[in-house]
Amino acid sequence: MNRKNRREAPLTEQRRRLILERLRTWGEVRTSELAGLFGVSPMTIRNDLNALAAGGELKRTHGGAVSNEPILREPSYRDKESQHIAEKSRIGRAAAQRLGDSMVVFIGNGTTTMQLIRNLPRLERLVVFTNALNHAGALLDHEGVEVYVVGGYLRGVSYGMVGGLARRGLEGVFFDAAFFGVNGVSLEHGYTLPSLEEAEVIAEVVRRSRRAAVLADHSKFGVVTHARAATLEEVDLVVTDRRPEGDLAAAFAEAGVELLLAEGGEKGGDGK
């Protein structure tokens, strides 16, 4: 090994170690972001990610990579607000098209479901239950919307109301549809969230809904977090911005899950 290569090898190893640390924290990395962070070319980052994927350290995705391990740190609401902004906006608009007059729906906490609220169609009457205080405030800006807040312990990291009080607040209530976001969607573990308490609330909502819809951008595919909110089969509709790679799209179709691609409104799967 010449002198130049001896100097570069530790730098490469250090950069790849830092990439893995960031991946374990966030669950996802983007090639363009890493190139800017380390001051190297996108090709260098792609080589790093390919090498780490070959060693089983991560899973490559279009434009980046996702972790093979559960996320260790839950991103805050403010953290997530700045991620995949355009994709979330398109997903919210597409999901809003599934709302109709006199429906009773649940809208869970999260930055993607907030985009659904911001794109609500003008309806004569819509009844919305939510477990997010910021969502409740945003809903007040829409005429014809009746707002019910599911109470409980307020998680500052996500603005979600959770716990036994939240679950008891759902007793005797049933929904035409439920819309909620997740931090991970995987073939083996279904739809997952970093918080067991939030997952328990969503699981109860799913049981009380005629149709359940997950709003998730492509970065959530292949990711597994702490607690399962629903199995693949328990969800009727997934609204996303990009068709998942590998076996996940086929698994959606086999489970009867409708796949709605926000960019062009394209559908996949047979639907339930």
| Domain residue ranges of the chain, discontinuous segments joined by + | 3-67, 77-268
Helix H, strand E, coil C: the string for the chain is CCHHHHHHHHHHHHHHHHHHHHHHHHCEEEHHHHHHHHCCCHHHHHHHHHHHHHCCCEEEECCEEEECCCCCCCCCHHHHHCCCHHHHHHHHHHHHCCCCCCCEEEECCCHHHHHHHHCCCCCCCEEEEECEHHHHHHHCCCCCEEEEECCCEEECCCCEEECHHHHHCCCCCCEEEEEEECCEEECCCEEEECCHHHHHHHHHHHHCEEEEEEECCHHHECCCCCEEEECHHHCCEEEECCCCCCCHHHHHHHHCCEEEECCCCEEECCCC
If pLDDT is split at 50, 70 and 90, which confidence band does 265 have? very low
pTM metric for this prediction: 0.74
What confidence category does residue 215 fall into, taking pLDDT thresholds of 50, 70 and 90?
Answer: very high
Same fold yes or no, 3-67 and 77-268: no
pLDDT digits (tens, 9 = 90+) for 83-130: 889 999 999 999 999 999 999 999 999 999 999 999 999 999 999 999
For the domain spanning 3-67, the CATH number is 1.10.10.10
166-202: per-residue pLDDT in tens? 999 999 999 999 999 999 999 889 999 989 999 999 9
For 77-268, CATH number? 3.40.50.1360
Please tell me which residue, 37 or 166, carries the higher pLDDT value.
166
